[in-house]
Amino acid sequence: MSVGTSEPVRTQEPPGRRTLADRTTAVLVGRRKLVMLAWLMIVLLAAPFAATVNGALSGAGWNAQGSESEKVRQELRSGFADLSAEAAVVVVHVSSQGERDAAVDAVIKRVGGSSAVEKFTDPREQPPQAGLVSEDGQTALVPVQLKADDEAGLPEAAGKVSDAVDQAKLPQGATADVTGEWPVWADFNKSNEKAMLKAEILSGLPVMILLVVVFGSLVAAGMPMMLAMVGIAGAYGALHLITMATPLSVWSMNFSMMIGMALGIDYSLFIVTRYRAERAKGSDTQAALATTLATSGKAIVLSGLALIMALGALFLLPVMVFRSMALGMILAVVAVVAAALTLLPAVLAALGDRVLRGRAQRTGRSEARWGRWSDGVVRRPTVGLVAGLLLLGGLTVPVASVELGMPGARVVDAGYSSRDGYETLVDAFGPGAGATIYITTPEDDADAVVQAAKNLTGVKDAQVATQAADTGRTVVRVTPTTAIDDNRTSDLVTDLRTKLDTTSPKALVGGPAAQNHDMTDALAASAPWIISLVLAMSLLMMLIVFRSVLIALVSVVMNLLTVGAAFGIASIIFQHGVGASLIGIDSQGFIDAWAPVFFFAILFGLSMDYQLFLLASIREKYEQTGDTRRAVRDGIAATGRPITNAAIIMVIVFVAFGVTGPIPPTELGITLAIAVILDATIVRMLIVPASLAIFGDANWKMPRWLDRVLPAVTFRH
């Protein structure tokens, strides 16, 4: 034994000593009917809330709390409500100018009768400088102030206005579409709901077929699907209840379902596979479940905890949308882990030998194949390690040229009213028409602010937009020459603020473009803290679990490389458009600015998933034998088939959600699928066995002082 280090002591539990897994299993098996009944009650209670969660969630929350643009939004709402800065806009387009009045009359008739409308503006009654009629006279804008009790109700109100406009009897060839911030989110909600239904159908059947092939039994194959559905129902129900206390974004649904389905199937696959293997060795139901909970169950707890810690770091972001996404996924993880460790064992005990029927004896050949592969890597570990690092490193290179941006109305697919209206708007009035910048300023400074704005590159027009309020402040409206999702518009926000620091120190710059700018800044400011926190928590967990400084450090580095490689491939697809048409999207020319830090947390948590299962199996074998190379071979052989099957299923689920949804969920789904593929191939098949073989017994050594202060975790039973 090396001086100053500790090594694992390979001892057996004292005869007759009952472990936590034994005691838990005894309760779950002995009271299995009560456990199943309890879960049935939970699902039944959650079902009504889960079924109606979409209506309770909000399309709002895309603003950085405490930012300058958020202050402008609140000032516009409280002091300049008549300006209708957040109004929905009905874009009326006719083929000839003579039909414009008839088309506008038809729209106003429908809008005026809608309960979702506070007031509207007739463009024909406004002076030309109001900018509500295009130069060619063929396009007119009807601003509509929405009626809602709170911000969360604005997307719903926008949807009602869109429905009303759809019923307008327009002249032949005329179009009328509703666009703006809230109509975009109303359409996104509709698109989102349809996409999730498609994803369930697209992933459900292939996954079920694969599970039947894997287990050779319909009964066993039903266990993962049951767990996924229970997890999703629990997460959705909890989300709905939380909305009664605080607004949550509709985006939480996508991510909650995606993670809930993937992990539900993933975790149950490991539990059922291990349970069947233990039963095949001759163990009875209770003994097999006790061993399963002590090994695979413990790995599931640690995997879930790793993901929860990584997602929890996202609460450092001062943006409601991202906190909602993180919360949705955390709730799904908690529900799935709880069901995997309680409901699933109870169901397995109730089913008895029926879950064993089918092709349960194919593991021998599979283990032999994986054993031969790991033997080959272990014999030439340097070659395997270098090859794996070069592959991941090469795939990470595109990250250096990533362009970040924030999406606009094109986040919604063509064919939706808000997207079509936006395209008509920018065609008729220029790309900056959908990126209006509002500057609130003291009335005495208004003329100076207008002149300062006009002197800047990228400004099409600037003018005082309203009378001064009782506060002595007024609003200057600035129209850029570039679109809201153009980085030059974000640069203009910076230039305006810099210029106004001297021209009008009390002026504030806001509007949709400024909101995107401030959110990007908030993401950039939070990123170092989030990344540091995720890395620190991951390192600490790996130290506690595997009692090894080397394994902890190597695991963190491998995860970083996996995340970098996955993001590199994602940038090739979504920024440069390579293969984008194959998944049914148009490249934006950039990666969403929120993607790096958000994806980092999720990908890092998921990357630890397979590593924990693999390394836990290797650690278990090492605790039994004391031989690192044999432990590597046996651990990879034992987990080869279940990890491969789980990875395939995860990829199917992530791709299904990726190809059916709008661009942001598509980015996440495809990137997660790429990360899982890299983890299950390059990392598992090359880097892990090679690095463990190179370091040998040094893998399991840790300074004595650190060993004493950290809690102990074992993977034996």
Per-residue pLDDT reduced to its tens digit, 377-387: 888 999 999 99
Q: Report which of 540, 596, 588 is spatially closest to residue 566, judged by C-alpha positions.
A: 596
**Torsion angle of the four alpha carbons 671, 673, 678, 680, in this order, in degrees rounded to the nearest 10:** 150
Residues 438, 510 contacting (CB under 8 angstroms): yes
**Torsion angle of the four alpha carbons 672, 674, 677, 682, in this order, in degrees rounded to the nearest 10:** -120
Residue 274 has a pLDDT of 87
Going by C-beta distance under 8 Å and a sequence separation of 6 or more, which residues neighbour residue 52?
A: 240
pLDDT of residue 54 exceeding 80: no
Q: Report which of 516, 508, 444 is spatially closest to residue 478, judged by C-alpha positions.
A: 508
Give the position of tokens 């208004």: 446
pLDDT of residue 324 exceeding 50: yes
Q: Report which of 160, 89, 147, 71 is spatially closest to residue 436, judged by C-alpha positions.
A: 89
| Helix/strand/coil for 263 | helix
Least confident piece of the model among 124-133, 173-182, 206-215, 333-342: 206-215
- Under the banding of pLDDT at 50, 70 and 90, the label for residue 716 is low
pLDDT of residue 8 exceeding 70: no
Instruction: Report the alpha-carbon angle 15-17-21, nearest 5.
Output: 125
Distance between CA atoms of 590 and 508, rounded to whole angstroms? Answer: 28
Residue 359 has a pLDDT of 54
Residue 365 has a pLDDT of 72
User: 442 pairs with which residues across the strands?
Assistant: 473
Distance between CA atoms of 311 and 315, rounded to whole angstroms? Answer: 8
Q: Report which of 546, 547, 544 is spatially closest to residue 711, judged by C-alpha positions.
A: 544
Going by C-beta distance under 8 Å and a sequence separation of 6 or more, which residues neighbour residue 514?
A: 68, 69, 72, 437, 438, 493
Distance between CA atoms of 296 and 411, rounded to whole angstroms? Answer: 41
Per-chain mean pLDDT for the chain: 87
- Under the banding of pLDDT at 50, 70 and 90, the label for residue 98 is confident
Pick the residue with more confidence: 28 or 707?
A: 28
Per-residue pLDDT reduced to its tens digit, 216-272: 778 878 888 889 899 999 999 999 999 888 888 877 887 888 889 889 988 988 898
At 143, give phi and psi (nearest 5°): -70, 135
Mean pLDDT of 356-382: 76
Q: Please state the pTM of the whole predicted model.
A: 0.84
| Helix/strand/coil for 565 | helix
For residue 313, CA distances in Å to 232, 597, 688 come to 22, 10, 27
Tokens of 191: 């698109």
For residue 640, CA distances in Å to 275, 469, 618, 686, 699 come to 16, 69, 12, 13, 21
Mean pLDDT of 686-698: 90
Tokens of 407: 């999406």
Instruction: Report the alpha-carbon angle 508-511-514, nearest 5.
Output: 75
Tokens of 708: 């004493």
Residue 500 has a pLDDT of 96
Residue 713 has a pLDDT of 66
Distance between CA atoms of 333 and 667, rounded to whole angstroms? Answer: 21
Helices H / strands E in the chain, number of each? 25, 12
Kind of pairing, strands 591-592 and 404-405? parallel
pLDDT of residue 370 exceeding 90: no
pLDDT of residue 450 exceeding 60: yes
pLDDT of residue 112 exceeding 60: yes
Max CA-CA distance within the chain?
95
pLDDT of residue 311 exceeding 50: yes
Of 77-91, 415-429, 580-594, which has the strongest mean pLDDT?
415-429
Residue 363 has a pLDDT of 59
Distance between CA atoms of 693 and 381, rounded to whole angstroms? Answer: 6
Per-residue pLDDT reduced to its tens digit, 481-540: 999 988 899 999 999 999 999 999 999 999 989 998 998 889 888 989 999 999 998 898
Residue 230 has a pLDDT of 92
- E strands, 444-522, in order: 459-464, 473-480, 508-510
Pick the residue with more confidence: 702 or 91?
A: 91
HEC profile of 601-638: HHHHHHHHHHHHHHHHHHHHHHHHHCCHHHHHHHHHHH
Residue 6 has a pLDDT of 45
Domains contained in the chain, CATH given: 17-60+216-361 (1.20.1640.10), 81-184 (3.30.70.600), 366-411+520-717 (1.20.1640.10), 429-517 (3.30.70.240)
Tokens of 429: 């009035």
- Under the banding of pLDDT at 50, 70 and 90, the label for residue 60 is low
Per-residue pLDDT reduced to its tens digit, 330-349: 999 999 999 999 999 999 99
Distance between CA atoms of 165 and 160, rounded to whole angstroms? Answer: 9
Pick the residue with more confidence: 477 or 715?
A: 477
